[in-house]
Chain A
Amino acid sequence: MAAVHSERIDAGEPKFPAADPILVVENIVKRFETPDGVLTAVDHVSLTVAPGEFVGVIGPSGCGKSTLFNVIGGLLDGYDGTVMVAGERMRGPHPAIGMIFQEESTFPWRNLIDNVAFPLEIMGLPRAERYERARQFVKLVGLEGFERRYPAELSGGMRQRVSMARTLAAQPKILLMDEPFAALDEQTRLLLGDKVLQIQQQLRQTTLLITHNITEAVQLSDRIVVMTYRPGQVKRMVEIALPRPRSSEIVSSEAFGRYVAQIWSDLREEASRGLSDEEMGKLREGERR
């Protein structure tokens, strides 16, 4: 089991009391059967998220972050350990958790407002109320005016905002995001990061973000969990004491740079382990053929 460090670069009060966390992930172990034997994707990972907190989970490719995402979201089972949401043990997708996926996930056959209203439709809300609420969230993500458009008419960044509005419309206690901006270019990511910060601060939304992008993690999070390469464990927890409310301008500050450097020095070692592992794997694969 890895020792967990909690470090702060700027001294100060921890912003979020450790008591009453809304999400408790305890000792998750997830293994997979592969043709090459048993693969441990996630090895005894624990973390907590307090209400209103923004926690970023960062790690190299292959560190099990997506597995963790699917476990916490309830899409995977067959793991050891527990996930508790607001004190309740979780089995399967929980209405208190909203998931935003990495891939394109808007429904291409529905227009924007129908996409956002989808969870409300499932919940059985009457029509007028559904659309009223959906419109609020469309406005929240800044897509007012596009309600009747179809996803094919929107840009990638806009579509991810639609997915976000859809998930938020269900008003989940916890927002779980898996690299939602991976497919977008750097500048769009920074601007969307602004939007996410703004929304999160406005709604005081508890958020858990899985990403491999250090800048994004530091820009958005109150606290960052750094994971090791497979088998994934928590390497370090870093408090990000950058001021709130924040905007994307923060990326040019000195403190920002120091956080990024610190996290990269942790990550670099894991990432190069991952890279050489992958290359060895390809070599072996080629030899087998």
Chain B
Amino acid sequence: MIGSVAKHKYFPAALGIGSLFVFVALLELLIRVGMINRFIVPMPSDIVAAFPRVIVEEHVLQRFVLTAGEAFSASVLVTIVGVAGGVVLHRYNLLRLATETWVAAIAAAPLVLMYPLYLVIFGRSALTIVMMGFTAGIAPVILKTLEGLLATRRVLINVGKSFNLTPSQQFWKILFPAALPTIFVGLRLGLIFALINIVGVEFLINFGGLGQLINELAERYDLAGMYAAICFVILVSISVFLLTERLERWLRPVD
């Protein structure tokens, strides 16, 4: 009987969600009973109760729009500069060979640690946050654009040659479309890196939208509120991630 339940199509999902509920319920119990200090971990019921309060009093919607705006600006910059950069590196071989390792190395560096530097240069403003998002997201876009263009299968290039395409036609009709799936992977990575850094820096410099909210609630020792805000940010992050996945799949009916 257990075997046949376990093979049911929705069992794994149910198991996952069920475990979450059990965990939360257990937490509630342990806190109520006093085994876990309620001033360190607020009761899940309190956290849930704090949601409406936080949303209304802390103007969560405006904050969300602010963070989203920063993320959007950073994404646009990253897309334009990143894809253009990748195309340029692809076009000029020598430049690519000289700088590709450098770009990859920068991608591996803890760029976000430059935020104090940006604070000095751009001040405590949305510009700092957008630039931080841009810096964090640019490298994967350049690298993936380059990778996509280079990975175009030889035979497709030969098809183009056999039809005597001009270099411009070859690029726009064959190389670029062939590279698009990989470019989108890069854009998605870039967006995610940008978003992570944007919310993180908002938290760190206590300026901006959602990230700043968490910081503020922490400084006010509003525990339930802070946990609620954190949950909210997690939900937003998951939604964005899901959305970009959907978008990517929709944009390439190919794979």
Q: What is A's interface to B at a CB cutoff of 8 Å?
A: 73-75, 92-93, 95, 97-99, 101-105, 107-110, 118-119, 122, 150-152, 170
Contact = CB atoms under 8 A, between A and B. Distances in A.
B162, B165, B252: which has the most chain A beta carbons within 10 Å?
Answer: B162
Contacts of B22: none
Interface in B199-255: 252-255
Interface of B: 153-156, 158-159, 161-165, 169, 173-174, 177-178, 180, 252-255
A107 B163 contact: no
A93 B253 contact: no
B169 A122 contact: yes
B251 to A, nearest CB: 10
Given A107-B156, A118-B163, A152-B254, 5 more contacts: A93-B161, A93-B163, A101-B158, A122-B169, A150-B253
A119 to B, nearest CB: 5
B74 to A, nearest CB: 28
B164 A92 contact: yes
Contact of B174 (A103, A107, A152): A107
A143 B6 CA distance: 44
A150 B253 CA distance: 8
A75, A105, A151: which has the most chain B beta carbons within 10 Å?
Answer: A105
Contacts of A73: 162
A176 to B, nearest CB: 9
Contacts, number: 56
A105 B155 contact: yes
A18 B156 CA distance: 35
A122 B163 contact: yes
A95 B254 contact: no
A169 to B, nearest CB: 11
B165 A122 contact: yes
Given A107-B174, A109-B180, A152-B254, A95 B164 contact: yes
Given A150-B253, A152-B254, A152-B255, A104 B155 contact: yes
Nearest to A111: B253
Nearest to B153: A103
Contacts of B178: 107-109
A107 B173 CA distance: 10
B195 to A, nearest CB: 28
9 shortest A-B CB distances, which residue pairs? A103-B155, A99-B162, A109-B177, A108-B254, A105-B155, A93-B164, A101-B155, A105-B159, A93-B162
Nearest to B164: A93
Contacts of B165: 122
A197 B115 CA distance: 69
Contacts of B180: 109
A109 B158 CA distance: 17
Contacts of B161: 74-75, 93
A116 to B, nearest CB: 13
Nearest to A167: B162
Contacts of A119: 163
A93 to B, nearest CB: 5
B204 to A, nearest CB: 42
B155 A109 contact: no
8 contacts: A75-B158, A93-B162, A93-B163, A98-B162, A101-B155, A101-B159, A102-B155, A110-B177
Nearest to A110: B177
Nearest to B252: A109
A234 to B, nearest CB: 25
A110 B155 CA distance: 16
A112 B166 CA distance: 23
Contacts of B252: 109
